[in-house]
């Protein structure tokens, strides 16, 4: 009976693929940062609309949130990249992936910001009005800054999730970390080494991001106090 071959971890495959994986990680950071910035702006706008708009606006925002929170991100990516061209809208893999990530994350951010706005004490609204501020000015200078501080921890968690979810855009050919890992492993067949290294890079990205967010949260707490 022929003995089973002993698996040998090939470090050379890791060193050969590492420069390309780091380039992919760079693009993962870029698309995640841009997507979160845009999703934060869109989510805040949607949350403010629910507080200031009428019933129709609130219903439209609720429908958007429910749609994008209750469908898989992968399907949303496919609809943007493969479905929109049938309607005459053709986007590059980067713009398709970015658009899907923004729309998906904004649905969660809208609920996070809405909770933050509703958590601001009612007395703050009354104090702003007593100072002669208009409703728009009260939102801009008094309510929204406090809501941002309240919502920041949840926003940080959403950003961490977005970094991990960005791996799904590799399915439409966007050259980020996961796409590079797939390409390398398909060529050298060192699946364990390449995907293991990719997992370590994701862990490093998430841990670094978590530390930055924690430091920012602590600084915001000191400023608020």
C-alpha torsion sign, points 111, 113, 114, 120: positive
Residue 132 has pLDDT above 80, yes or no: no
Question: Are 107 and 116 contacting, i.e. CB atoms less than 8 angstroms apart?
Answer: no
Q: Specify the pLDDT at position 5.
A: 67
> Which tens digit of pLDDT belongs to each residue from 47-100?
999 888 788 999 999 999 999 999 999 999 999 999 999 999 999 999 999 999
DSSP track, 162-224: HHHHGGGGGGGT--SHHHHHHHHHHHH--HHHHHHHHHHHHHHHHHHHHHHHHHHHHHHHHHH
Q: Specify the pLDDT at position 217.
A: 83
Mean pLDDT of all residues in 149-158: 88
Mean pLDDT of all residues in 138-149: 81
Higher pLDDT among residues 126 and 28, named by residue: 28
Residue 4 has pLDDT above 70, yes or no: no
Q: How many CB atoms lie within 10 A of CB 36?
A: 24
Domain boundaries, the chain: 11-224
Residue 2 — very low, low, confident or very high, per pLDDT cuts 50/70/90?
A: low
Mean pLDDT of all residues in 125-149: 77
Residue 11 has pLDDT above 60, yes or no: yes
Q: Which CATH superfamily is domain 11-224 in?
A: MetI-like (1.10.3720.10)
Higher pLDDT among residues 186 and 34, named by residue: 34
Residue 224 — very low, low, confident or very high, per pLDDT cuts 50/70/90?
A: low
């Amino acid at each position: 009976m022929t003995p089973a071959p002993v698996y040998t971890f090939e470090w050379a495959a890791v060193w050969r693929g590492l420069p390309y994986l780091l380039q992919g990680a760079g693009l993962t950071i870029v698309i995640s940062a841009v997507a979160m910035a845009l999703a934060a702006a869109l989510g805040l706008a949607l949350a403010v609309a629910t507080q200031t708009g009428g019933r129709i606006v609130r219903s439209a925002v609720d429908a958007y949130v429910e749609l994008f929170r209750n469908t898989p991100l992968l399907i949303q990516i496919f609809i943007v990249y493969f479905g929109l061209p049938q309607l005459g809208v053709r986007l590059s893999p980067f713009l398709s992936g970015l658009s899907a990530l923004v729309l998906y994350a904004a649905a969660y951010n809208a609920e996070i910001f809405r909770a933050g706005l509703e958590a601001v004490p009612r007395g703050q609204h009354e104090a702003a009005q007593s100072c002669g501020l208009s409703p728009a000015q009260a939102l801009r200078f008094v309510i929204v800054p406090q809501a941002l501080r309240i919502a920041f921890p949840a926003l940080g968690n959403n950003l961490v999730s977005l970094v991990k979810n960005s791996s799904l855009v590799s399915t439409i050919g966007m050259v980020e970390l996961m796409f590079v890992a797939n390409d390398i492993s398909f060529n050298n067949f060192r699946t364990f080494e390449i995907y293991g290294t990719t997992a370590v890079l994701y862990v490093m990205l998430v841990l670094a991001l978590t530390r930055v967010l924690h430091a920012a949260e602590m600084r915001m707490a000191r400023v608020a106090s």
